[in-house]
Structure 1
Amino acid sequence: MADNENTWDKLLQVKTTGRDDSKAGHDYYPYEPTPYPVLERLANRGLIRKKDVVLDYGCGKGRVDFFLSYQTKAKTIGIEYDERIYQSALENQKTAVSRARTVFVLARAEEYEVPSEGNRCYFFNPFSVEILRKVMAKIMESHEKKPREVFLFFYYPSEEYLSYLTEVDGLELYDEIPCGDLFEGNDPRERVMVFLLPHNRTENER
């Protein structure tokens, strides 16, 4: 696994390895990069394409952004509240092969105004379910203002996350991408759960 991590970082010309819990607390969880094999499997699913705009919540050093923008040609927007880690993402952006398609924003996720073109959202347990509720409210508000198909990807989701997500009105469970075979132990949480906000047309569009 370590070889794979270093190989991809070298190819993308970034440095995204290592865990960082210096500012972790009750609401915001430690930075830990999504393993590259998981991102490979997600990219190969065909749910993220060149025309899409991916919002990466709790982007950390930018691994998801650099990888997906490289592999799928989509535009990525990384959202990070920790200024020190955000600066690491900006440093990586200077050398990244896919830097032209990546943007980073220093903001708290629950305060970030979702852009109308944002139609893919990625989460790797970056914060508490209380923060997730506020983030989802922002996403739903943007979706209501501009109806569009929005996919939300949750890697290694907690039961608390899933319990909440299944209760969100209008949000549909779309797919499950199993990843347990990529690691030892066959952990049942090793998966990407895919939810969908469908394109509900407004009266003016009908």
Structure 2
Amino acid sequence: MDQNETQWDRLLKIKTTGRDDSHSDQYRYPYEPTQYCVLERLAHSGLIGKKNVLLDYGTGKGRVCFYLSYQTRCRSIGVEYDEWIFKAAEVNVKHAVSGKRIIFEPVSAEDYPVPAEVDRCYFFNPFSVEILRKVLARIYESYYENPREILLFFYYPSEEYVSCLMTEEQLMFYDEISTEDLFEGKNTREKILIFSVE
């Protein structure tokens, strides 16, 4: 276990380490938290601040919400369909340093109506492209009802995700944050792709 991972968990007063495949299937992928060094790079991008509301899809135990709320002062909403993992996020929110700015919703991503104040969304390959398309439809719906800048962050995107995103007419490629230098070896998936809703 990377020392940085446990140190941040301790500092934020949460428990988010470890992987969980217990309820994963072909549509919903295992719980695996984004490493803190990646979140640090995102926090320092200047694209998320205290006026933003971040929606983390497949939030798991809530690491993305806790860390980014702590570092950028944004408010966060985490959506998690797995009841068991959701309970771990709920326990975390009681003790977390930035817990007051975070809400967790026990719901499937594709069934969640995107609140009007959400303007940032985070994905770490939480589910299949079939579900992603339904989730994007929900985001567009929210955008049409309340036009605003919405940025979508896709960390470590799969080829399927990239193909899907590139063919979405309502999405515009916005930027890319490389995370390749944070890890050993060469891996072209080590990046955060950013799209804006048009």
Normalising by structure 2, we get a TM-score of 0.99
Q: Residue 169 of structure 1: CA displacement? A: 1.2
Helix, strand or coil for the counterpart of 1:7? helix
Aligned AA for 2:117?
A: E
Structure 2 residue runs of 5 or longer lacking an equivalent are none
Calculate the TM-score normalised by the size of structure 1.
0.95
Partner of 1:201: none
Report the secondary structure of 2:154's partner residue: strand
1:148-182 deviation per Cα after TM superposition (whole angstroms, max 9, x unaligned): 00000000000110111111112111111000110
State the alpha-carbon separation in 2 of the partners of residues 15 and 143 from structure 1: 34
CA offsets per residue over residues 32-52 of structure 1, 9 Å max, x none?
000000000000000001010
2:184 corresponds to which residue? 184
Match of 2:77 in 1: 77
Shift in Å, 1:55:
0.3
The aligned runs of 1:15-164 (5 Å cut-off) are 15-164=15-164
Mean CA deviation greater in 131-140 or 181-190: 181-190
Structure 2 distance, partners of 1:109, 1:66, is 19
**Residue 167 (structure 2) aligns with:** 167
Match of 1:77, SS? strand
Unaligned runs of 5+ in 1: 199-206
Residues 1:8 and 2:20 aligned together: no
User: Deviation at 1:92?
Assistant: 0.5
- Aligned equivalents of 1:193, 1:186: Cα separation in 2: 17
Structure 2 counterpart of 1:182, one-letter code? L
Alignment size in residue pairs: 198
The one-letter code matched in structure 2 to 1:9 is D
Instruction: Tell me how far apart the structure 2 counterparts of residues 171 and 82 of structure 1 sit (CA, whole Å).
Output: 28
CA distance in 1, matches of 2:9, 2:34: 12
Give the Cα–Cα distance (whole angstroms) in 2 for the partners of residues 134 and 170 of structure 1.
14
Secondary structure at 2:100 match in 1? helix
Partners in 1 of 2:187 and 2:7 — Cα distance? 25
Kindly name which structure, 1 or 2, has the bigger radius of gyration based on alpha carbons: 1
Aligned residue for 1:126, secondary structure, equals coil
Shift of 1:73: 0.3
Q: Distance in 2 between matches of 1:39 and 1:155?
A: 10
In structure 1, C-alpha distance between the alignment counterparts of 2:187 and 2:21, rounded to whole Å: 23
Q: In structure 1, the residue corresponding to 2:61 is in which secondary structure?
A: coil
- Cα RMSD of the aligned pairs, angstroms, is 0.7
Residue identity matched to 1:161: Y
- Counterpart-to-counterpart distance in 2, 1:186 and 1:14: 31
